[in-house]
Amino acid sequence: MTLRIEKGRSYIGESVIRPQTTRLLAGRGVFTDDVTLPRMLHVAFVRSPHAHARIASIDSTGARALRGVVVAVTGEDMALVCSGWVGTLAHFQGMKSAMQRPLAIGKAWWQGEPVAAVVAESRAIAEDGVSRVRVEWDPLDAVTDPETALDPSTPVIHPELGDNLAFRLELASGDADRAFGEADTVLSETFTMGRHTGVTLEARAILADFDPSERRLTVYHSFQAPNMMQDILARHLNLPEHDVRVICKDVGGSFGIKVHVYPDEMATCALSVMLGRPIKFTADRLESFVSDIHAREHRVKAELAVKRDGTILGMRVDDLTGIGPYSVYPRTSAVEGNQTVRLTPGVYRFRDYAATLRVVFQNKTPMCQYRAVGHPIAFAVMEAMVDGAARKLGLDPVEMRRKNYVTADMYPHTSQTGYFFERLSHEEALDKLLEISDYRALCAERDRLRAQGIHRGLGLCTFIELTTPGPAFYGVGGARISSQDGCTIKLEPSGKLTCMTGVTEQGQGTDAMIAQVVASTVGVPMEDVRVLTGDTMVSPYGGGTWASRGAGIGGEAALQTGKAIRDSILKVAAAMLQCEPDDLDVRLGKIVDGPTGEVRLELADLGRVAYFRPDTLPKDFQSELTVTRHYVPRHQGFAFTNGIQLSHVEVDVETGFVRLLKHWCVEDCGRIINPRLVEEQLRGAIVQGIGAALYEHLVYDEHGQLLTGTMMDYLVPMAAEMPDIVVGHVETPTAFAEGGFKGAGEAGTAGAPGAVLNAVNDALAPFGARVTSQPITPDVVLKVLGVL
């Protein structure tokens, strides 16, 4: 009997289960701290208790005397092995920052900066050693408030830089002054956005293993960009690049926290080189709060020029952001502010826009890119201004948005600040959101309940998301961070596929997404594909996973590699079957006759012949069953996506508490590979945005001391307070890549804070009260209500 397979199977668009969940659900994940090596030692750090202080002396005698302590090291010792770095990029003109080192020398510039390291047989003994290192501090005045950081009376944090200004940017599109001259009404507001951080549940961890016999360094790292780290370790430890191997095993959350160079991690690697032994560093939670990058401290002044009918004529924005004492290497701390001022007007069609950005140094933990870099601030400001203007003019917030959107007939479109939008779907997303949320009914219910003293509010936030960045992001500025990614697929003799990719997995479902693309493109069942990520020795070179680049770049690379190996497979099959490759197809893991679907060959038979009996093939035929292809976006700087969120809240006007009732999001990330994974990216990202909007706050006193440095003081969203989150999709594939994929990792965080802020303000509208800061804690609500 002849077996026929008439049609192959595509997994694109299917919510298949992620293969690696089985392992994680059994407690068999391997996170960096789970790795133990022979001869391994542990390091703990002496961190500055002061925000700004001169180090008069460091005496490690007590630590060294402790049984089990191997060595205690200062910045001077370490400088002999590891060179310092400066976090600037050439395309941010005029940007400056100071030299940063693994262990500070001479001065400490923030509370938590490492100044000495103690290496011991166990972490506990290393910490005992830390407590016996005596540092004589000479405290200096701390610069904490960005508003006064540039005042002549404020101390200059790094005297060699001349002032506390890291970066300044002026943007002008059209003629903002004319727009304001023609406006019927002008809305002016000042937004104060608090610092927060990522709180990856697995803290940062690194295990460095330098083998002095071969002078090779192997690093296990909880990280998002292994090739970036390989390059940096090679250059700063003066090792040949190919003698540095970075392995990222399971990563317990990242969110942009684990994509930067941290002094304690560099110090750990340097110590391994110094001692010739494996050294492990796992941050504890208390040191995470003062040493993980912080995010989003902004003060934004915004002005909106509007016609009586709701037409937005123009906007002015002044963003001031404090980044701590250093711009973080190698991505810099200018990107957050740069994206904030560039993204702010992008949803809307008005052209007259002027923005000023000042990025200033201060003596707090360094600030840098965290999930949705700049977006949450940009859209909270923009959408609060739109709602504020609508309220002032007595217009419907939905219609005000509709009137001002960049509409379907305007694409391709270039934004006021130069961003290129191939095609976005604001109107379609809005319509879908109104439908799935039954928005008008919720408005009617809100109005009805107001009469009963129940204060509910609805808040919309339209957003765009920068995804799939090309080399314009970092490469052109001189950072050696790959914007291209490779994919390698190998046909095993058994007919199964092994796939290695440059994009990495931190829980998003990269493995599943890549397997879906490969299985669909080659024509095999998904269970026949194994995906390996995160090992610089074996993975093709790539950037890793950040900036929502996994599907847009890694997915397209996988698609192109899948096509290539399918061609290779068909060539072998044609040689075996003595026919033309074009006559054949691969379906469900079998070679079939194209027109009839008749099964001609099993992939396992093909593999057996190609690897073990190539003597049976024509003499001039060489099979190639391992194939690599690469992909970089070449036709646009970024693949922008869009969406809209709606938050429904109830505000208790007596206690100031905000209760989240429900949240909706409609987004458009192009062609969807796995709807459930996209939905879960959105939900998780929305909850992080909600955390920023309502709970999470790194509070400092005027001396630069962090007051919220434990999980008791720093609130992250918990299950009981979080709402159900409904997700809807619009699909506008990009035509610039064959797969049509764009990114989806940050859209949730981009829009959630604005939606919550607008919802709270909608609830407070009857009181004439308005919040313009986050987090919106109960005291903030009570203050605007005049109760406190």
Partner 1 sequence: MEAGIEISLTVNGVALSRRVEPRTSLVDFLRYELELTGSHVGCEHGVCGACTVRVGGAIARACLMLAVQADGAVVETIEGVAATGEVFDLQQAFAEENALQCGFCTPGMLLTAQDLLSRTPEAGPEEIREALSGNYCRCTGYHAMVEAIGKTSRARVKGRSA
Coil, strand or helix: which one is 683?
helix
Could you give the CA distance from residue 185 to residue 55 in angstroms, rounded to a whole number? 55
Instruction: State how far the Cα of 82 lies from the Cα of 418, in Å rounded to an integer.
Output: 40
Distances from the Cα of 661 to the Cα of 162, 286, 458, angstroms: 51, 33, 10
Give min distance, CB of 356 to partner 1, in A: 34
Distance, in Å, from the CA atom of 537 to the CA atom of 218, rounded to the nearest integer, reads 10
Q: Which is nearer to partner 1, 549 or 630 (CB)?
A: 549
Continuous segment of H or E residues that includes residue 580 = none
Tell me the three-class secondary structure of 535-602, residue by residue. Answer: ECCCCCCCCCCCCCCHHHHHHHHHHHHHHHHHHHHHHHHHHHHCCCHHHEEEECCEEEECCCCEEEEE
Nearer CB in complex with partner 1: 341/461:
461
- From the CB of 629, what's the least distance to partner 1, in Å? 28
Of 34 and 602, the one with the shorter C-beta distance to partner 1 is: 34
Are 667 and 682 in contact, with CB atoms under 8 Å apart? Answer: yes
Cα 788 from chain centroid (whole Å): 37
Instruction: Tell me how far, at minimum, the Cβ of 697 lies from partner 1, in Å.
Output: 16
* Other C-beta atoms lying within 10 Å of the C-beta of residue 97: 25
Give the C-alpha separation, 421 to 408, whole Å. Answer: 11
Minimum CB distance to partner 1, residue 155 (Å): 35
Rg over CA atoms, the chain? 28
Nearer to partner 1, 250 or 336 (CB): 250
CA separation for the pair 149, 168 (Å, rounded): 14
| Cα 139 from Cα 579, distance rounded (Å) | 81
> CB-wise, 191 or 281, nearer to partner 1?
281
Judged by beta carbon, residue 30 or residue 735, the one nearer partner 1 is: 30
CB of 7: closest distance to partner 1 in angstroms?
A: 26
CB of 207 to partner 1, least distance (A): 13
- Please answer whether residues 639 and 751 qualify as being in contact, where contact means their C-beta atoms are separated by less than 8 angstroms: no
Report, in Å, the least distance between residue 545 CB and partner 1.
Answer: 12
- 485: which strand partners? 631
Q: Is 774 exposed, middle or buried (0-12, 13-18, 19+ CB in 10 A)?
A: buried
For the bound state, the minimum distance from the C-beta of residue 693 to partner 1, rounded and expressed in Å, comes to 14
Nearest CB to partner 1, comparing residues 146 and 278: 278
Nearer to partner 1, 74 or 548 (CB): 548
Q: Which is nearer to partner 1, 310 or 709 (CB)?
A: 709
CB of 67 to partner 1, least distance (A): 10
Q: Which helix (H) or strand (E) holds 642?
A: strand 639-651
Nearest to 474 by CA among 253, 265, 167, 228: 228
Nearer to partner 1, 281 or 631 (CB): 281
* Footprint on this chain of partner 1 (rule: CB under 8 A): 17-18, 20-31, 33-34, 36, 124, 198-203, 250-255, 282, 284-285, 506-509, 676-677, 680, 683-688, 710-712, 716-722, 724-725
- Hey, what are 36's tokens? 């133990």
Tell me how far apart the alpha carbons of residues 623 and 7 are, in angstroms, rounded to a whole number. Answer: 26
423 class by beta-carbon count within 10 Å (0-12 exposed, 13-18 middle, 19+ buried): middle
Minimal distance, residue 248 CB to partner 1, in Å = 12
